[in-house]
Amino acid sequence: MANEEFVSLLRKCADVLELKKIEWKPRAYRRAARGIEGLREPLKAIYESEGKKGLEKIPGVGESIALHIEEYIKTGKVKKWERLFSSSPSGSSELMRIKGLGPSKVKQLQDELGISSVDGLRKALKEGRVRELSGFGEKTEKNILQSLKLFSIGQARMLIPQAMGIAEETISYLKENAPVSSIDYAGSLRRMKETIGDIDILATCSDAEECMGVFTKMPNVSRVLAKGKTKSSVQLRSGVQIDFRILPKKEYGAALLYFTGNKQHNIELRKIAIKKGYKLSEYGLFSKRTGKNLASRTEEDVYKKLGLQFIPPEMRQSNGEIGLASNSKVPRLIQQGDICGDLHTHTNYSDGVESIEDMLKAASSLGYKYYAITDHSKSERIAHGLSVERLRSQWKEIDKAAKKSKLKVLKGAEVNILKNGELDYPDKILRKLNVCVGGVHSSLKMPRREMTERICTALENEYLDSLAHPSGRLIGQREPCAVDFEKIFKVAADNGKAMEINSQPLRLDLNSSHIRLAKKHGLKFTIVTDAHASTQLDYIRFGVGQARRGWLTREDVLNALPYSRLKKVFGRLP
DNA sequence: GCCGTTTTCGGCCCGACTGTTTTCAGTCG
């Protein structure tokens, strides 16, 4: 049983219970769902090693849910929930996912019109039956129709570069055209999550009304979803939603904190506030007794007053960061400026689009000190992988180009890890490579045990330096390969190999929880772009973001080392 | 249903905007 299975079951229960107007229990179920989502281990493994008591250690899971998990592991179902589901139309859970419809409206649609599916809702809307209900009206009908459109497009989230682009463009537009002073993006974008739903922008300004006017009339706006004095939402022609909020200077920090989230992090902060006799909201931290504002101007102020160290946005994931902050143990996270070179890049020798020379020029302009060219190895035919002969002629060209560059240029390769775990070049070639990045590119659907074995064999190869995109996932397109990460990290640590954090927005691989797990095993990392064009060298910021989400410091990252020290780690550097 | 450095009972995050109804419930973030 996959954990996600049980999580979606819990969420479905919460939906149905909410529909039945049952209080608190849905919230408890959702909390448990989040707790289980945060696990790295399968529920089954926890149950088998520690029994029910082990399950109860999961945040949000108590005696009752632990029993349900036990039943589900043993029988594949939860009787009580089956009954619950059969008492409620199957489509209600789906209906609640439509923006504008909550438990009350869905229940009303169900009870009064017998609607229990998205299609049924569409039909009823067309026939004009929805607007007849009390509490519904013409506008509600129109809104539901709009939301339905979006729903069928799919609530696909954006990859981070698209969201970052839109956010930065919007901010510069507002800076130019409206009287804003401070302005920042918040939300999951500020936390550098791999995918972004909506974009949140906060600002202080001298004339709120004018600002909101400029915002809602931006040229790329297709629909104004809400417009108020302090808060407006628009939908862009691209379908992306932007929420914009205006705040007094004095409250800016509290608001930035609140709207950066994540939600669970906020809830935990509020609980700490309550314990201390305070009340925390987006307006500030207040004394419960006197109502006096205790902190709100900056995020630092609020954290400090709560007795916490400042927590960088990327760490606000509600997985232990508040504990660190209360003990003054928040690390100084790696920053983009710490990166001294890229160690996984391509050129037009394989599937890149630019020449060695052009890539070097671009890398040089980023202020890097060293740069590895790692085109694909011979069996990667589709990417025009390099035969030994072509590799040798590439070396000559690299030598020539390196003379014209200030960079220390390294001859490398992204070498396929073959099905049996061997590398795709003979040892006499591997020996001559300065950098050997090993990656799985074929037979991705191998069973877990075999894939783990395959990668471990490669990690034991003395010439391999780092494991490229270890999980193999493509966000929204391809599931990660089935592998035992605990085992891979252990073997990598035993053999002194580095784990890659691949900055390609579609990969961002390792992800943050695996980064933390790998760090626990004492591993070092490389943060690389895997650039196939010079513009992609900028993706490094997303890889660094991911590393920060995984709590990495400069000391954890090999390509944050100056060349002299990198040389001591990588055995074959010139 | 869960949880506890106030508690094993009695809480459970907080406020804005919308639409519809005329003072507020529902929904969202």
Q: What percent of chain A has pLDDT over 70?
A: 98
Task: Report the pLDDT averaged over residues A191-219.
Answer: 91
* pLDDT score at A44: 87
CA of A275 to C1' of B7 (A): 12
Asked which of A147-156, A162-171, A270-279, A281-290 is least confident by mean pLDDT, the reply is A147-156
Asked which of A142-156, A310-324, A330-344, A452-466 is least confident by mean pLDDT, the reply is A142-156
What's the token pair of residue A6? 């049980």
Neighbouring residues of A245: CB distance < 8 A, sequence distance ≥ 6? A200, A201, A202, A203, A230, A231, A255, A259
Residue whose CA lies closest to nucleotide B11 C1': A24
Residue whose CA lies closest to nucleotide B29 C1': A259
Tens of pLDDT, residue by residue over A427-441, are 999 999 999 999 999
CA of A271 to C1' of B2 (A): 15
Show the domains of chain A with their CATH numbers: 1-88 (1.10.150.110), 91-155 (1.10.150.20), 158-246 (3.30.460.10), 251-326 (3.30.210.10), 336-569 (3.20.20.140)
- Residue A154 exposure: Cα atoms within 13 Å on the Cβ side: 4
Q: How far is CA A315 from the centre of its chain?
A: 11
Asked which of A25-29, A422-426, A428-432 is least confident by mean pLDDT, the reply is A25-29
CA of A139 to C1' of B4 (A): 46
Bridge partner list, A500: A526
Q: How far is CA A402 from the centre of its chain?
A: 36
* pLDDT score at A149: 75
* pLDDT score at A347: 94
pLDDT band at A502 (very low <50, low <70, confident <90, very high): very high
CA of A231 to C1' of B16 (A): 8
Which positions in strand B are less than 7 Å from the protein's CB atoms? 1-3, 5-6, 11-21, 25-29
Residue whose CA lies closest to nucleotide B16 C1': A231
Asked which of A110-124, A173-187, A370-384, A531-545 is least confident by mean pLDDT, the reply is A110-124
* pLDDT score at A117: 84
Q: Which of A235, A275, A243, A274 is nearest to A259 (CA)?
A: A243
pLDDT band at A162 (very low <50, low <70, confident <90, very high): confident
Task: Report the pLDDT averaged over residues A44-52.
Answer: 87
pLDDT band at A553 (very low <50, low <70, confident <90, very high): very high
Rg of the Cα atoms in chain A: 27
Burial class of residue A263 (count of CB atoms within 10 Å of its CB; 0-12, 13-18, 19+)? exposed
CA of A96 to C1' of B27 (A): 11
Asked which of A23-32, A309-318, A411-420, A495-504 is least confident by mean pLDDT, the reply is A23-32
* pLDDT score at A188: 93
* pLDDT score at A406: 94
Report CA dihedral (A80, A83, A84, A89) to the nearest 10 degrees.
160
| Mean of per-residue pLDDT scores for chain A | 90
pLDDT band at A155 (very low <50, low <70, confident <90, very high): low
Residue whose CA lies closest to nucleotide B13 C1': A267
Tens of pLDDT, residue by residue over A255-269, are 999 999 898 899 889
Task: Report the pLDDT averaged over residues A241-246.
Answer: 92
Residue whose CA lies closest to nucleotide B14 C1': A281
For A489, other C-beta atoms within 10 Å of its C-beta total 24
Helical H segments across A115-222, by residue range:
118-126, 138-153, 160-177, 187-190, 208-216
Task: Report the pLDDT averaged over residues A304-311.
Answer: 94
CA angle, residues A35, A326, A264, in degrees to nearest 5 = 30
What's the token pair of residue A162? 């698209």
Instruction: Identify residue A85 by its one-letter amino acid code.
Output: F
pLDDT band at A403 (very low <50, low <70, confident <90, very high): very high
Nucleotide nearest to A230 (CA to C1'): B16
CA of A517 to C1' of B21 (A): 55
Task: Report the pLDDT averaged over residues A324-343.
Answer: 96
